[in-house]
Structure 1
Amino acid sequence: MSLNAGRFSAKLLDPTLSARSLYGAELRYYRERAGLTLEELADRLHIEMSFLARIEQGERRLSDELARAVDDILGTGGFFARNLVVARSAPAPGRLTPLAEWEWLATAIREWDAALVPGLLQTDAYAEAVAKTYAALLADRPTRHRWDARLSRTPVLLDPRGPRYTGVLGEAALRRPLGGPAAMAGQLHHLADLVRRERITLYVLPLTATPHPAATDGALRVMTYAEENPTLHFTAHHTGTHQTDPAAVALAHLTHDLLAGAALPPAQSLALIENAAADYRAEATGERSAERAALSE
């Protein structure tokens, strides 16, 4: 067995997360009962070992042809072909599985946020400032859920196989000094870096823009998947809803397109972000200089 095979096999499975997770756990059970490693079964199925591992982890699904092949190789009596519908049932993001896991499955993500930098784009310092700002409103939610939902999520956008990300931000998100000038400078430099590395596309809807009917005060996100129905997440007044209704998703896509059309073009949006970052950096440097001068007196 290769080192990679050992690494994939070592991951614990939680079949209680969803029907798909149970399906994946059953695949591992039958594979191990047959005395096959991940690498050996993947070779016999003529697929990548990493892909098979993600099926077992509930992150990918079997095709009809693969399900029948698995049944034949593992002698399951048709279990996997018979239960494909169960394997394809996806819980709403944030309900049975963490939202962050679904971001890794998405092929495209579109977001609009009127007042905050979206979680996927946040630095840890900015995320901490957001959590502190809204602590009173989130006091009834588990701390772990709040932090898992925000911190350390940018890597999904840095992965070459990660989703295509297109965001529209209200300029207010750039002007609210959450965490202070240094935290904001770091956050906006982070946004600019992601844009310049061509990992994301950003539009900024300026404060001077004519009020747009699609510009709600909340946050809107549509995630598209290769093998699932698109999902819509809308947050307003500190409450969030998930939907997979095709009409609602189509309206969300239209809303995002209208907002992007009303916003500054990407090049001008990037210039605005970088100018705001420079202003925050200068302010942060000035504050530190003043502090050092006061300490030396």
Structure 2
Amino acid sequence: MLKQQKDVRHVRFGRALSSARDKTGMTQAVLGRAIGRSDSHISNVEGGYRRMSATDVRAADEKLGANGRLVRLYDDLYEDGPTDWLDNLVELQAEAEIIREWHPVLVPGLLQTEDYARAVVSAGAPWRTPESVTDKVEQRMRASARVLDGPTPHYHVVIDDSVITRPVGSPAIMASQLRSLVERVRSGRVMIQTYPFASWPHAGLSGPFSLLSSASAPDTVHVESVYRGQATDDPETVRHTGMSFSTLQANARGTRETVEHLCAMIEEHEQHV
């Protein structure tokens, strides 16, 4: 279980506030005095531990010369209604410089083809209308393009053999999905390793997770389920998750062996088309 769970919205706003303050050379103490708050309060906000009031955001935006950027971000993050944790995850992914992920059940969302994503969304949420499924799939494709169309973040993922063996949608969809993974690896854009069935038990039994690293913010761990996501930059949790990923990586197939294994699985799925 994650310790000291933080609201991802607090983390994102805190990073933006810290960045805006750093650009002016203003200390936390000076900013705090300028808006009538303590330096510890500013520290807690920037650390993602506390939400800043709307009044303080407007005052900070003015003092820092942010031209409304902090106010707009605050409104976007804290507008009425539930926050889509997947949107928050995409923001964290787009801001990261290195992403390391473990996936034991499905192809990671960022690497899913449109047909594979449609099969996953339809099966995982049978109450959705066809229009709702299409909207969710398009959202996933936009997220993938936003994060992976540039040279960064560097993306390293380890996936369990069950992900490439279990048919999702149809054999044709699976073959196409695996070809897409091979193309990604061969292009050099992502590093993918597959984890053999024989290596059991393993360090990823608790479920999928992401480790997101950036030079401008603490490393963050993100874990997900069907309905929610949790993020934390608690140092102990980050260290433990990093050890888990390193163990999984060390026991997974190498990149070249992974490509050979994926190609073999493509042929196997194509035999059932």
TM-score by length of 1: 0.62
CA distance 1:272–1:137, shift in 2 (3 Å): farther
Query: Does structure 1 residue 61 correspond to structure 2 residue 19?
Result: yes
Q: CA deviation at 1:210?
A: 3.0
Structure 1: stretches of 5+ with no match in the other structure: 1-16, 24-54, 70-76, 285-297
Structure with higher RCO (Cα < 8 A, 6+ apart):
2
What is the distance in 2 between the residues matched to 1:217 and 1:22? 29
1:63 Cα deviation from its structure 2 partner:
5.8
Aligned to 2:270: 281
How far does residue 239 in structure 1 lie from its aligned partner after superposition? 5.8
**What per-residue deviation string (whole Å, max 9, x for no partner) do you get for residues 141-172 of structure 1?**
x9799557733333222302x21111110010
Comparing 95-104 with 223-232, which one deviates more in the overlay?
95-104
Partner in structure 2 of residue 175 of structure 1 = 165
Q: SS of 1:174's equivalent?
A: helix
Question: C-alpha deviations, 1:65-111, integer Å up to 9, x for none?
Answer: x2149xxxxxxx967xx997588455899659622122110011111
Q: Distance in 2 between matches of 1:135 and 1:195?
A: 30
* Structure 2: 5+ residue stretches without partners: 1-7, 27-32, 50-76, 78-82
- 1:281 CA displacement: 3.4
Q: Are 1:216 and 2:205 an aligned pair?
A: yes
Structure 2 Cα separation of the partners of residues 259 and 237 of structure 1: 23
Identify the residue that residue 106 of structure 2 maps to in structure 1.
Answer: 116
Larger Rg: 1
After TM superposition, the structure 1 = structure 2 runs for residues 58-207 of structure 1, keeping only pairs within 5 Å, are 61-62=19-20, 64=22, 66-68=23-25, 85=43, 88-90=46-48, 95=85, 98-136=88-126, 147=137, 150-155=140-145, 156-160=147-151, 162-207=152-197
CA contact (8 A) 2:174 2:266 kept: yes
- 1:6-38 Cα deviation digits (max 9, x unpaired): xxxxxxxxxxx9578879xxxxxxxxxxxxxxx
Counterpart residue number, 1:36: none
RMSD of aligned alpha carbons: 3.7
Check the 8 A contact 1:108/1:224 in 2, yes or no: yes
Aligned residues with identical type, % of pairs: 25
Give the corresponding residue for 2:248: 259
Partner-residue secondary structure (3-state), 1:256: helix
SS at match of 1:150: helix
Q: Aligned equivalents of 1:267 and 1:59: distance in 2? A: 43
In structure 1, distance between residues paired with 2:85 and 2:266: 36
Deviates more, 1:87-96 or 1:100-109: 87-96
Q: Distance in 2 between matches of 1:20 and 1:242?
A: 9
Q: Report SS of the residue matched to 2:268.
A: helix
1:90·1:228 contact (CA, 8 Å) conserved in 2? no
Q: What letter matches 1:159 in structure 2?
A: G
Asked if residue 234 in structure 1 is aligned to residue 191 in structure 2, the reply is no
- State the Cα deviation string for residues 246-277 of structure 1 (Å, max 9, x = none): 11111111101101111111110111112212
Alignment partners' CA distance in 2, 1:21 and 1:172: 34
Q: What amino acid is the match of 1:61?
A: S
Q: 1:235–1:99: structure 2 CA closer, same or farther, 3 Å change rule?
A: closer
